[in-house]
Structure 1
Amino acid sequence: MSDSPPDPFFFGYGSLVNRATHDFPRAARARVTGWARTWKRTRLRKVAFLTAVRDDGAMIEGLIAAVPGADWATLDAREYAYDRHGVERVDHDHPHPVTVQIYATKPEHHTDASEEHPVLLSYLDTVVQGYLREFGEAGAQRFFETTHGWEAPVFDDRAAPVYPRHQRLSPDETLFVDDALRALGVRRLTRL
């Protein structure tokens, strides 16, 4: 029997829901209460970040996965614009109790998404593909319904993806994303 403490877990609510973007072990579907998801712009780049914000009445679905040996360095580097926060209310499909942290952009860097900071379609595609695979179409639709900040336009970079961990979508997945954006009335940009 090991004397080392159990591995901590992170809660992913964006691209980390797509298992093809990482190899963190013991992933399981989860729901976090007390946090909402929104698009924010920052001074760090020209496109919007997806971030979690505290909201007592909100619940978001996502994926938890272990951070072996509490070695957060790789994940912290990937999430460089974010701070980690403890999650108190989490319901998950993992067979054991776990401690969970969530990433939220650093407040000193963000404001609302805008024309100057659009949502990157190659990133959104990757996120939605993860939700489709983990939660089905109903869960992916809940992603759109429970995410704030859709007043920002979407930059269409599918032909030349900017997001470094982008995933190729199937025709059905592409249609799902496009239909959801149309239903929300989100404007698409073809250049930054």
Structure 2
Amino acid sequence: MTHHFFGYGSLVNRATHSYPNARPATLRGWRRAWVHTPDLTRSFLSVIPDPTCTIMGLVAEVPGGDWSALDLREQGYTRSPDHAMVGDHPHPIQVYAVPGGNPPSDHAPILLSYLDAVIQGFLIEYGHQGTSHFFSTTTGWNAPILDDRAAPQYPRAQRLSDAELAVVDAGLRTARG
């Protein structure tokens, strides 16, 4: 089994983890989706199969193949093998997805502090083009947004600059129509 994962949400923000050898990559055949499960009272990112879509993210190493810490962080997800593209080269990875995730609902909002951390990572790794790509290759923007910036509920929340916050807010306005 490979000792690398493909991060497509908060794992793109290197400040939320310490996995080594992280590098930009793309994953074909998947689309991001906001989902929730009966166990959680918020929506979170997963991936769903979509043969027409390619998403940007990061590939990073899981030292020694010890998946226990990452599996705990990604509780509720399952890992599946796949191949991401690092530059022009296919790279074996594991991708986390939520089996049977439900579409967003009024009872499972998106935490703005979570989205902030995700978008900050995409800005750092890919610039404005990456954030636009993130918003356009993610479905489920009809979920309510819980503005928890003043008291973040997301455990790996990051501090964003005013310019970064403006990118998040503009992307949300566009994605939600």
Pairwise TM-score range, normalised by the shorter structure:
over 0.9
Percent identical among aligned pairs is: 48
Q: 2:36, 2:44 within 8 Å by CA — same for their partners in 1?
A: yes
Residue equivalent to 2:96: 103
Q: Deviations over 1:96-120 (max 9, x none)?
A: 864201000122xx21011111111
Mapping for residues 73-92 of structure 1, pairs under 5 Å: 73-88=68-83, 90-92=84-86
Residue equivalent to 2:61: 66
Residue equivalent to 1:13: 8
Residue equivalent to 1:45: 40
The question of 1:185 aligning with 2:176 is answered yes
Amino acid at match of 2:85: D
Moved over 6 A (4+): none
Residue equivalent to 1:121: 112
Write the distance in 2 (CA, Å) between the matches of 1:68 and 1:98: 16
Q: Residue 58 of structure 1: SS of its match in structure 2? A: strand
Q: How many residues align?
A: 177
Residue equivalent to 1:167: 158
Q: Residue 174 of structure 1: SS of its match in structure 2? A: helix
Deviation at 1:84, TM superposition (A): 0.2
Q: Residue 71 of structure 2: SS of its match in structure 1? A: helix
Write the distance in 1 (CA, Å) between the matches of 2:90 and 2:79: 19
Q: 1:8, 1:98 within 8 Å by CA — same for their partners in 2?
A: no
Unpaired runs of at least 5, structure 2: none
Root-mean-square deviation over aligned CA pairs:
1.6
Q: Residue 43 of structure 1: SS of its match in structure 2? A: coil
Amino acid at match of 1:104: A
Deviation at 1:182, TM superposition (A): 1.7
Amino acid at match of 1:119: I
What TM-score do you get using the length of structure 1 for normalisation? Answer: 0.88
Amino acid at match of 1:23: S
Amino acid at match of 1:106: P
Q: 1:28, 1:93 within 8 Å by CA — same for their partners in 2?
A: no
Deviation at 1:49, TM superposition (A): 1.5
Q: Deviations over 1:117-165 (max 9, x none)?
A: 1111000000000000000011111100110000111110000000000
Unpaired runs of at least 5, structure 1: 187-192
Q: 2:85, 2:91 within 8 Å by CA — same for their partners in 1?
A: no
Write the distance in 2 (CA, Å) between the matches of 1:56 and 1:91: 15
